[in-house]
Amino acid sequence: MPAKKPTRTLRMRRLAAELRRLRDSADLTREDVTEATRINGSTLYRIEYAQARPQLRTLHTLCDLYKVSDDKRDELLALTKNSGQQGWLETYPSELPTEYTNYILFESEARTIRNYESLFVPGLLQTEDYARAVVRGTLPLATDDQVEDRVRARVKRQELLHRSDPLRLRAVVDEAVLHRTVGGPRVMREQLLHLATMAKLPHIELQVIRFGAGAHPGMPGSFVLIDFPDPADPAVVYIDSMAGDLFLEGEVDIDRYSLMMEQLVGLADSPDSSRKLVASMAAGMMEKDKEAAE
């Protein structure tokens, strides 16, 4: 069985970016480095794009070649030693897919999440029952254990919204999200009530794009923009699709999706109007339940 790819952490990305910058400053190509050090070219590429952690002797060799100062060398060594830290995932018993694990780690180190969803309630705002129905519906071949692993991970992620310095979440959803009865009427009613409650929190902004807005830039699919506290750590775009999970880290892609999010925010109802809409829909479902019971 092939070895599992290393999990990409924020420190690993920062280390990779620093090593690329140092090589560029030394005016060396990857081929130059390979010729001077005998470090395999594909290995160097993986290190520079956060797909592999360098061994310490490899890092020392690169520092020598790039004429790195002692202070900078110590910084790079610290990044290397700490680049594998995975927080609560280190003790998590399940085998989550690598790309999903990468997303969870980026999310856990983020300052702000900007999430557009066209079909689902955003994962950070899902109830446990709604999450379970989503996982069962979208992964019909998953075992019961695999479903529960996903649900527990999703619930654990939501602790970011309740810590003393909570994650800031801006969620924009298409109105279709509110009308799709995921898990049945009871589950959906509870989900809408939860959504309306969470939308009252000062660090959460929920906006709904009404059907009347017509065609809009988010219709091709959902995406997440992850922003980090340190300006040295560039934003990441995450896309979860049928073709697999995708991370976009180029400046052009970040700018494109940031502009798209701004356009979606502009098309959506205000946070206050959106929260009232969600609460009204939940109340309507409760009234129907009462009428059905009589």
Cβ-based neighbour number of residue 93 at 10 Å: 6
Q: Which one of 93-107, 230-244, 267-281 scores highest in mean pLDDT? A: 267-281
Question: What percentage of the chain exceeds 70 in pLDDT?
Answer: 90
Separation of first and last alpha carbons in the chain = 59
pLDDT of residue 24 exceeding 50: yes
In a domain, 126, yes or no: yes
3-state secondary structure at position 131? helix
| Non-local CB neighbours of 280 within 8 Å, separated by 6+ positions | none
Per-residue pLDDT at 148 = 94
Q: What is the pLDDT of residues 165-194, one digit of tens each?
A: 999 999 999 999 999 999 999 999 999 999
Helix (H) / strand (E) containing 167: none
- 131 and 24 share one domain: no
The answer on pLDDT for 140 being more than 90 is yes
What average pLDDT does the chain have?
89
Alpha helices by DSSP H, the chain: 10-25, 30-37, 41-48, 56-66, 70-82, 98-108, 128-138, 144-157, 176-179, 185-198, 251-267, 271-293
Contact 153, 132 (CB under 8 A): no
User: What is the tally of structural domains in the chain?
Assistant: 2
Q: What is the pTM of this model?
A: 0.77
Q: In this predicted structure, what is the pLDDT of residue 275? A: 97
Does 174 lie in the same domain as 285? yes
Q: Does one domain contain both 78 and 105?
A: no
pLDDT at 100: 82
Average confidence (pLDDT) over 211-238: 92
- DSSP letter at 233 equals S
- The more confidently predicted of residues 12 and 125 is 125
Burial label for 171, CB within 10 Å (0-12, 13-18, 19+), is buried
Is 60 exceeded by the pLDDT of residue 86?
no
> What is residue 1's predicted lDDT score, i.e. its pLDDT?
39
Q: Do 176 and 257 reside in the same domain of the chain?
A: yes
Do 263 and 142 lie in one domain? The reply is yes
Looking at residues 229-242, what average pLDDT do you find? 84
Expressed as residue numbers, the domain containing 80 is: 10-85
CATH classification of the domain holding 233: 3.30.870
- d(C-alpha 54, C-alpha 201), whole Å: 42
- pLDDT at 95 > cutoff 70: no
Residues making up the chain, counted from first to last: 294
The reported pLDDT for the residue numbered 31 is 95
Best CA proximity match to 254, nearest among 240, 239, 244: 239
My answer on whether 146 and 238 are in the same domain is: yes
DSSP code at position 19: H
Domain boundary among 85, 118, 147: 85
**Is there a domain that residue 271 lies in?**
yes
pLDDT bucket at 233, cuts 50 / 70 / 90: confident
pLDDT confidence band for 254 (50 / 70 / 90):
very high
Q: Say yes or no: 38 and 122 in one domain.
A: no
* CATH number of the domain bearing residue 79: 1.10.260.40
- Check pLDDT > 70 for residue 7: no
